[in-house]
Amino acid sequence: MKRLAWALAIIIAVGLLAAVSLLPLRSPTGVECPASVVIVRGRGGVPLECVCVNGVLSACFEPGL
C-alpha cells in the first residue's frame, strides 16, 4: 500500500510540473488583444502580425503573408 501511495504521489507531481511548464506557452506576457489583428515584436525585434480570437492570442505570422 505504501508503494502505491508513493507511485501516485510521483505521478501527480510529474503531472503538475508538466502543467506548470506549459502555462507560459499559452500567451506571451504583455500582449493584449484589443482588435482581431495586432502587431507585436517577436524574437529579435522582428514585427509579427497576430490574430486574436475572443481576446486571446491565437496565431502569429510574418507581416504580408
Q: What is the pLDDT of residues 15-53, one digit of tens each?
A: 998 877 766 555 555 567 888 888 888 888 888 888 888
Query: Model confidence at 7, in pLDDT bands (50, 70, 90)?
Result: very high
Number of domains in the chain: 1
For position 55, what pLDDT does the model report?
A: 80
What dihedral angle (degrees, nearest 10) is formed by the CA atoms of 35, 60, 55, 32?
-70
Alpha-carbon gap, residue 38 to 50, rounded angstroms? 5
For position 30, what pLDDT does the model report?
A: 59
Domain that holds residue 10: 2-61
pTM over 0.75: no
Residue with cell 505570422: 61
Show Cβ contacts of residue 35 under 8 Å, excluding neighbours closer than 6 positions: 52
